[in-house]
């Protein structure tokens, strides 16, 4: 039996799939926090190049991938689709388990799919520098890699505690020529303000975003780049699902369940949106987003208007949220510690097209270790949530005696997260679970925000 | 233009190529250190299963790959062949540069190619446990992974200083279920002896080998496994070159130069031996082994009989050596810090079929950083030697205006070696070079050993 389904470079998609064209209900606009009115492109123009702003609001079903972006994709795409034959056997399940593996990119995750596109469009519009924030470093690595390919300077504000505790992601960014500085820094007004009041702060993603946005907004040669949540980011990630559709055809299989882990929503959307298109057309597919019980945005949050960042600098986005001031517990899945969710995904959850599940990190590391021992690849802590869900669905299929076909996105490897595995094996991981009362307490802070229309 | 040449699983080789069948001069036997006589299989039987001992002395050109080993290979093989289009452009060279990438294996290097074969043959002969040593952890990771696949216990003696300084390779081995202990340990006579005299010792590969061998020799259920140097190890690695031949045909290209980094010789042989077969048949190919100037075994060592290990427990092997008591400087290429060389490769160097080059580690990190910025992949420090040589040959081709085709083995990624890149960027790497006088001083210790026949 076949283990891998590989494609030729000719099969790398030539267009991204824009789900906005096929949404069963029209997408909701972001709102200006002061006026409560829908925002126009001019509010985004200081931060993003015009082509990305156009993609953000585009209703075209297919968006051409520029040749230089596609050439950059060739450095690692098409990524492989695997059949997890050994895992199936270990679980003694009648289910077939397939996974798309995005860890083959130079940075080890799906993030470069959008990073190279964003770097390209900025370069094309004469921008010479990009700023961004990074927590554990996955997104910062991807943008560093992409900026280097297109000859852009890259400045990464890295949350100070990660800067100190995860030096190897920082080394990776340095290898690709990026300028990585710990946040808060003395280089921005936002950073200086925080440092003045709390000089020993470990930093946070919210502060790092403020610093990166402030620098981009104040310099004509510089724009800002975001690694998830926004429509254009999700658009770029659809290469994952478009390739997978071809590979599943090679395997002569069609998924009954499509699974992705969910933080901001980008790797999930990358695999799921092309399959949601099939589901809109009537195909019987369950589409499952998997999040941590420590940050249960989709399963326990509110579908409401809220800020995208912690400090409140962005427009109000219509999304599932735990409240923009919510600070998730220090789980090892840094990429899933986000209070909000991509608006496009939120709407589809709200309308019943996407299901959501949540697990503790210990359950996810259990599944990830089983996976590593059967399939070889050591999953990133984020991706372990998708692994856990796939295992759960495979065991349910066994219970039912159903020959289900399960497909999930293994969004990255864990080579830079081995300290998390150490903690797991040492038995020192905490099973954080956010209670209903805690969620409601946080949500009270956005009670006065505009309602999402029914 | 195409960047990658991928094969289907059907193209994973069904046989390994045994170069012993085609050697222009007959291979020299290992000798018993006491009697000076060629050793028989009985001397190896306490340490290795009979099938591997047979492979060690086989003269058959093709050796069948057992189905379970080939199935394990499917977890990551065939590995991709890349054309380094961006690197070519950056060097402004008329040369075409191709590289085979072995970093796609679960452990991130070529080592599992032999580890899964060794685990399989041991399992087939009723062995339930394997011991081995590891320095930085590449080989220990590979054997841990392989033992887990075949249901064997794995015990890895890891050099104490690496155990403490490189915890993430250790975490990786633990993830695959291996028992990793710092060496010297109190679990063997060899370890206890060392600890009694030098309780604070950082350990060494020589001591770790002694511990692993002692444990294997003293238990019926346990054998020992070695990751390089021996004939059967090189045999298993030939899947690299056999796949590459097919991929180069897809690219409609034939190499003028074939390059691999050289420590014990296994990744080099894996790519080079199938091409040496073509060279024996009259094809005009330069075959180049690349080593560190800090450990210049092939370029400055003596072709002589010497122990394979530091302490003197092995048979005498006919090989290029710097003397078995030579301790290389602490360069970051842990896998190239070996005093000897695979006998098969040594003989071919001695007979003029293989050329050898040596570079400083700073030169190699220069090349590796250029490579990472152009091609995305961050090379392992060992593999950076092959990158450096490929760049040098590409620049020489530019000088000559020659359209050379250069092929090298990128044996692994550097995800667990980022501290080496940190040191490089901090300017704190030492350009170790071993002098002629130092080499001669070390070699005096083996002056009384038997001569290699002319």
A218-243 pLDDT per residue, tens: 999 999 999 999 999 999 999 999 99
**Average pLDDT of the segment spanning B344-366:** 97
Sheet of B179-183: strands edge to edge? B179-183, B153-159, B129-134, B222-224
Better-scored residue on pLDDT, B161 or B98: B98
Return the pLDDT at B377: 98
For residues A267 and A299, give the distance between their C-alpha atoms in angstroms, rounded to a whole number. 18
The closest CB to that of B378, out of A167, A172, A177, belongs to: A172
- Mean pLDDT to the nearest integer, B91-118: 98
With CA atoms as reference, the chain B residue closest to A378 would be B106
pLDDT at residue A454 greater than cutoff 80: no
Q: What does the pLDDT read at residue A310?
A: 81
Q: Per-residue pLDDT tens for A384-402?
A: 999 999 999 999 999 999 9
Angstrom distances, CA of residue B143 to CA of A330, B180, B363: 33, 11, 31
Token digits for A429?
């991981």
What rounded mean pLDDT belongs to chain A? 95
Q: Using 50, 70 and 90 to split pLDDT, how confident is the model at B206?
A: confident
Are residues A331 and A43 in contact, defined by beta-carbon separation less than 8 angstroms? Answer: no
> B-chain residues within 8 Å CB-CB of A421?
171, 174-175
Number of H helices, E strands in chain B: 19, 15
Enumerate the residues of chain B whose CB falls inside 8 A of the CB of residue A416. 415
Residue B259: closest CA among B105, B363, B392, B362 = B392
pLDDT computed for residue B302 by the predictor: 96
Instruction: Please determine, for residue B454, whether its predicted confidence score (pLDDT) is greater than 80.
Output: no
* A contacts of B116 (beta carbons < 8 Å): none
Out of 1.10.3720.10, 3.40.50.1100, 3.30.1330.40, 3.40.50.300, the CATH code matching A66-108+232-446 is 3.40.50.1100
Strand, coil or helix: what is A158?
Answer: strand
Q: Which residues of B touch A (CB under 8 A)?
A: 2-4, 6-9, 71, 74-76, 86, 104-106, 108, 145, 148-149, 167-168, 171-172, 174-177, 369, 372-373, 375-378, 415-416, 418-419, 421-422, 425
* CB-closest option in B373, B376, B425 to A76: B376
Question: Which chain A residues are closer than 8 Å to B376 by Cβ?
Answer: 75-76, 105-106, 145, 149
**Residues 6+ positions from B335 with CB-CB distance below 8 Å:** B135, B136, B138, B139, B263, B264, B380, B382
Residues A42-71, mean pLDDT to the nearest whole number: 96
Categorize the per-residue pLDDT at B30 as very low, low, confident or very high, splitting at 50, 70 and 90: very high
Check residue B108 and give its pLDDT. Answer: 98
Contact A418 B171 (CB under 8 A): yes
Look at B377 and A106 and tell me if their CB atoms are within 8 Å: yes
Find the residue in A nearest to B368 (Cα): A175
The mean predicted confidence, pLDDT, of chain B is 95
Q: What is the pLDDT of residue A205?
A: 84
Which of A71, A75, A175 faces B378 most closely, judged by CB atoms? A175
Q: Quickly state the pLDDT bin for B272 (edges 50, 70, 90).
A: very high
Name the minimum distance, in Å, from the CA of B80 to any CA of chain A: 10
pLDDT of residue B330 exceeding 90, the answer is no
pLDDT of residue A8: 93
Confidence of residue A312 (pLDDT cuts 50, 70, 90): confident
CA distance A73 to chain B (A): 10
pLDDT at site B40:
87
pLDDT tens, position by position, B245-268: 999 999 999 999 999 999 999 999
- Maximum Cα–Cα distance for chain A, whole Å? 62
**Among all chains, which residue has been given the structure tokens 């020959």?**
A403
Q: Which of A75, A138, A164 to probe by mutation at the B interface, max B CB count within 10 Å?
A: A75
Q: What pLDDT, on the 0 to 100 scale, is given for residue A253?
A: 98
Number of H helices, E strands in chain A: 19, 15
Residues of A whose CB is below 8 A from B76: 376
> What ipTM was estimated for this complex?
0.95
Once rounded to an integer, what is the mean pLDDT over residues A8-16?
96
Q: Which residue of A has its CA nearest to B144?
A: A373
Distance from CA of B78 to the nearest CA of A (A): 10
- Which helix (H) or strand (E) is A237 found in, with range? helix A231-237
The predicted model gives B104-118 an average pLDDT of 98
**CB atoms B416 and A419 under 8 Å:** no
| Contact (CB<8Å) A6/B6 | yes
Under the banding of pLDDT at 50, 70 and 90, the label for residue A202 is: confident
Nearest CB partner across the interface for B376, out of A106, A168, A372: A106
Of the pLDDT bands very low, low, confident and very high (cuts 50, 70, 90), residue B331 is confident
Contact criterion met (CB below 8 Å) for B420 and B280 = no
Question: pLDDT tens digits, residue range A319-334?
Answer: 999 999 888 888 888 8
Per-residue pLDDT, B451: 84
Please state whether beta strands B286-292 and B355-359 pair in parallel, antiparallel, or not at all (unpaired). Answer: parallel
Instruction: Write out B393-416 in H/E/C secondary structure.
Output: HHHHHHHHCCCCEEEEEECEECCC
């Amino acid at each position: 039996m076949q283990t891998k389904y590989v494609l030729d470079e000719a099969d790398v998609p030539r267009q991204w799939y824009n789900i906005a064209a096929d949404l069963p209900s029209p997408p909701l606009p972001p709102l200006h926090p002061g006026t409560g009115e829908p925002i126009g492109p001019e509010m985004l123009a200081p931060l993003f190049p015009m082509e990305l702003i156009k993609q953000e609001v585009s209703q075209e079903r297919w968006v051409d991938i520029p040749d230089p972006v596609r050439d950059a994709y060739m450095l690692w795409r098409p990524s492989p689709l695997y059949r997890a034959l050994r895992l199936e056997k270990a679980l003694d399940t009648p289910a077939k388990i397939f996974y798309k593996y995005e860890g083959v990119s130079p940075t080890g995750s799906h993030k470069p799919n959008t990073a190279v596109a964003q770097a390209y469009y900025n370069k094309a519009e004469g921008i010479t520098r990009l700023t961004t924030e990074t927590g554990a470093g996955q997104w910062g690595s991807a943008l560093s890699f992409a900026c280097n390919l297109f000859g852009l300077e890259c400045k990464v504000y890295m949350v100070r505690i990660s800067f100190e505790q995860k030096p190897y992601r920082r080394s990776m960014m340095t290898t690709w020529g990026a300028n990585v500085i710990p946040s808060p820094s003395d280089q921005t007004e936002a950073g200086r303000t925080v440092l003045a009041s709390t000089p020993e702060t470990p930093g946070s993603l919210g502060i790092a975003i403020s610093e990166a946005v402030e620098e981009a907004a104040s310099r004509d040669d510089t724009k800002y780049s975001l690694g998830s949540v926004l429509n254009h980011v999700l658009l770029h990630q659809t290469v994952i699902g478009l390739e997978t559709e071809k590979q599943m055809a090679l395997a002569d299989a069609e998924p009954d369940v499509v699974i992705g882990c969910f933080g901001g929503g980008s790797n999930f959307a990358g695999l799921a949106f092309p399959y949601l298109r099939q589901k809109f057309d009537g195909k019987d597919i369950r589409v499952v987003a998997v999040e941590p019980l420590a940050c249960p945005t989709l399963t326990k949050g509110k579908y409401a208007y809220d800020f995208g960042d912690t400090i409140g600098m962005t427009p109000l986005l219509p999304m599932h949220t735990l409240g923009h001031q919510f600070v998730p517990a220090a789980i090892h899945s840094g990429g899933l510690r986000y209070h909000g969710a991509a608006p496009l995904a939120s709407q589809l959850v709200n309308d019943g097209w996407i299901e959501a599940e949540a697990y503790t990190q210990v359950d996810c590391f259990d599944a990830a270790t089983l996976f590593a021992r059967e399939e070889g690849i050591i999953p990133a802590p984020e991706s372990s949530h998708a692994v856990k869900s796939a295992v759960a669905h495979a065991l349910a299929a066994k219970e039912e005696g159903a020959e289900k076909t399960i497909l999930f996105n293994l969004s990255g490897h864990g080579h830079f997260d081995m300290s998390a595995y150490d903690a797991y094996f040492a038995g020192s991981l905490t099973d954080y679970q956010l209670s209903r009362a805690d969620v409601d307490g946080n949500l009270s802070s956005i009670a006065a925000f505009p309602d999402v229309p029914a």
